[in-house]
Structure formats: structure tokens, C-alpha cells
Amino acid sequence: MHESWKPVLQAEFEQPYFKELAKFLHSAYEQKTIFPPKQQVFSAFTTDLNQVKVVIIGQDPYHGPGQAHGLAFSVRDGVQLPPSLQNIFKEIHAETGAPIPNTGNLQRWAEQGVLLLNNVLTVEAHLAGSHRGKGWETFTEHIIQYLNEHCDHLVFLLWGRDARNKAKLIDAKKHLVLESAHPSPLSAHNGFFGNNHFIQCNEQLKKWGKQEINW
């Protein structure tokens, strides 16, 4: 993780809920196949806290082999694009005309100040949602509350129920909160396609005098 995050995360690691979560994770990684790899669980926090401009909240990591690497919606280079990510790229193309990339690795977004944070940071192989209710949701809420209180002028992109439930933690007078359906094929046609979030995000960043994101 980036140095800027260490005091924030250390405070969470010392909380009773996180100590229970850590025990669960230690056992899970010992006994089962868990994604992402242990050393990549906190990859979202390689984005400098002081440079964060946009926050995208995912659900839980991809549960197929070789996909998850700690950034919400992202997959490693060379991995086939998951359907949700395909739909994200389709929406960006529809809004901006940008070509659909050959890689689903969103590290390039993270380097521009996009925090790609899942609601739950780990998952058992082939079992979507298997690590819900273990403490990650509390962790994520605390991170969002910290960002809301200590950062100025962020854009939050909340797609789907899990992410939209976080809207209550965000001061919409201080930040821009954009909500829509999830980009999953099951829901993308119910409001994700055509949401214009990527254009709206950049327009707001420009108004605030911040560098726009090269999606």
C-alpha cells in the first residue's frame, strides 16, 4: 500500500472487528483457495490517498482463477474481460468514443487517482459473496467515511445495490455522488448503459480544477 494510507489502515487493523476478520482470513487462506492472492488484497490502496479524485465501489472480487488482483472490476493483463468490465468499456466507448482496450487491467486508472475499492475484499474460489458478513463491509464503510470527512471534492461512482447503500455515508454537498444500476449483464440495461457517469465525472473534476481521468 502507499505510505499515505498506512495510518488510516493501521487504525482499522487494530479494531476488534478487524482482528476477528484477520483470524477468519488466516484460516481461509490456509485451507481453501481465496482470491485475490494474499499479497494483493490491499492493492486498491497503492493509489496515493492525497491524489484520490474518484472512488468506484465494487461488490466482491472476481471468483475465477487468475482474475482478481485487488482492484475493483479490474483483471490482470492477458485475462479475458469479465462481462461487467466489458459493459464498463462499452459505456465509456459510447460516451467518449474511446476504443475498447485489449486489457482489463485498471491500474492505469488507479495511477490517475481512481480508488477502485470493493465492498468485500476477498472471496472463496467459485463462490461469489462467500466472504460477505465477515467484517469487510465495516472496513469499507470506515474507509468511505474517512474519505468523506478528510478529502475535498471527490466523485463517487456507485453502481448497483451494494455500492448505492454507501451513499448515506457521503456528503453530497461536498462531493459528487453518481448512482446507477450495476454494469453486470443482469442489470446493465436497467440504467447503467447511458448513465453518462464518465463524462459527468470529468466535467465535475474540470470544474473543481482537477485533472480529468483518461478513461
Q: Known catalytic residues?
A: 60
Over the range 10-49, which residues count as b (16 or more CB within 10 Å of their CB) and which as e? eebeeeeebeebeeebeebeeeeebbbeeebbebbbbbeb
> How many Å apart are CA 148 and CA 172, to the nearest integer?
9
CA angle 110, 44, 213 (to 5 degrees): 20
Going by C-alpha positions, the residue among 197, 29, 26, 30 that lies closest to residue 114 is 197
> How many Å apart are CA 25 and CA 108, to the nearest integer?
29
- The amino acid sitting at 1 is M
Residue with cell 494474499: 38
> Which is it for strands 176-180 and 155-159: parallel, antiparallel or unpaired?
parallel
